[in-house]
Structure 1
């Protein structure tokens, strides 16, 4: 595996971990949330630099329905991250506490909407590339055959995780935050860290599942 490819994999893995951590605000607290946010923004920009060729091909070739969807998701994720970066700096009380002034109310609304859209879009982005990840895993296994029983167990577990993720997504009323129908996020501080992380991991799993199977039907 080439060095650049290894760096890409490490960056993507770190982004996935930080994305989950950032969504669990009630567990990590504000200061750590801000530091993780800075790390996420840096990794996201690095991810874009490492994949700069994609931008160079935007105006080349034919746009199939799948390519249109991929482009919209990628651009949406980019806009979300830029909005989060700006609003995060304005709202910062620790990392960027030296920044004075700014449209606090606008930044608060922007941060709320962009955080949940970013979570969904980046999870979908991962799902659209899940086939490539599975291909790399198969190559690492060097042609070893996976027992059919194991395959079915994995499939059932995947569907169960995706189903639980959808249940959590609706139960947490996240669509109301995405479309700014609710301006205040409810955090249940009585939930354990394991429970909160598990729920967001399942939600991410649901959108990865959706993204992956969209590539199968388009």
Structure 2
């Protein structure tokens, strides 16, 4: 593993961590939220600079179902992140003297909705790259041989994550947040901090699994159709 690739991986993992950290607004307050958000957007810019070759990929190379789906997911993620950036600027307390006329409750709702959509789309984005991530994990742990026991254990973990992710979606009211519905059902950080992040990670895990197995299903269907 090259040092540049390792650095990119660290940046991406840090960005994912900051995205989760950003959901803790009602726990750590506005200053920590805005600092984390600013750092996240800087890392997003760095991520795009590292992956600038993707933008040069000819459209013809993206016509296969899997590549097309990946392209659509990537563009949706770009739109969501742009919405997140714009709304964060409009409602920023640090910029309130300049942007106060453009902020408001509706913009805050859009910002929250975009944040939860970012969680879902980032998870799907990672799920499409799951084979690469698993390959890196195997190499890092020195797992060269297949193991039936390990496979069974991993599949059980996958089932547990999926079940937990479905439960977490209801616990956090994911549907209402993704559709920008009015709700007073906010997480009580005084009762549990770790529980909130576990729910967020479980939701991300659920969508990662769904996107991975969906892409695998498409690949199998394409192979059988030839």
Asked if TM exceeds 0.5, the reply is yes
List aligned pairs for 1:194-213, cutoff 5 A. Answer: 194-213=194-213
Which residue number corresponds to residue 175 of structure 2? 175
Aligned length: 217
Structure 1 residue 135, shift from structure 2 partner: 1.6
Tell me the TM-score normalised to structure 1 length.
0.90
**Secondary structure at the counterpart of residue 61 of structure 1:** helix
Structure 2 gaps of 5+ residues are 219-226
Q: Is the 8 A contact 1:22 1:33 kept in 2?
A: yes
Tell me the TM-score normalised to structure 2 length.
0.87
List aligned pairs for 1:126-145, cutoff 5 A. Answer: 126-142=126-142, 144-145=144-145
Q: Is the 8 A contact 1:128 1:212 kept in 2?
A: yes
Structure 1 residue 46, shift from structure 2 partner: 0.9
> Which sits farther off after the overlay, 164-173 or 19-28?
19-28
1:24 paired to 2:43: no
Structure 1 residue 47, shift from structure 2 partner: 0.6
Structure 1 residue 137, shift from structure 2 partner: 2.3
Quote the RMSD (CA, aligned, Å).
2.0
> Which sits farther off after the overlay, 62-71 or 175-184?
175-184
Which residue number corresponds to residue 221 of structure 2? none
- Give the whole-Å Cα distance in 2 for the aligned partners of 1:3 and 1:130: 21
- Give the whole-Å Cα distance in 2 for the aligned partners of 1:119 and 1:113: 10
Structure 1 residue 82, shift from structure 2 partner: 1.1
Which residue number corresponds to residue 54 of structure 2? 54
List aligned pairs for 1:116-195, cutoff 5 A. Answer: 116-142=116-142, 144-145=144-145, 147-182=147-182, 186-195=186-195
**Secondary structure at the counterpart of residue 93 of structure 2:** coil
Runs of 4 or more above 6 Å deviation: none
- Give the whole-Å Cα distance in 1 for the aligned partners of 2:72 and 2:185: 27
Q: Is the 8 A contact 1:177 1:185 kept in 2?
A: no
Q: Is the 8 A contact 1:21 1:28 kept in 2?
A: no
> Which sits farther off after the overlay, 183-192 or 10-19?
183-192
1:3 paired to 2:6: no
Query: 1:23-69 deviations in whole A, cap 9, x for unaligned?
Result: 23332322111111111111111111100111111523251222222
Q: Is the 8 A contact 2:20 2:200 kept in 1?
A: yes
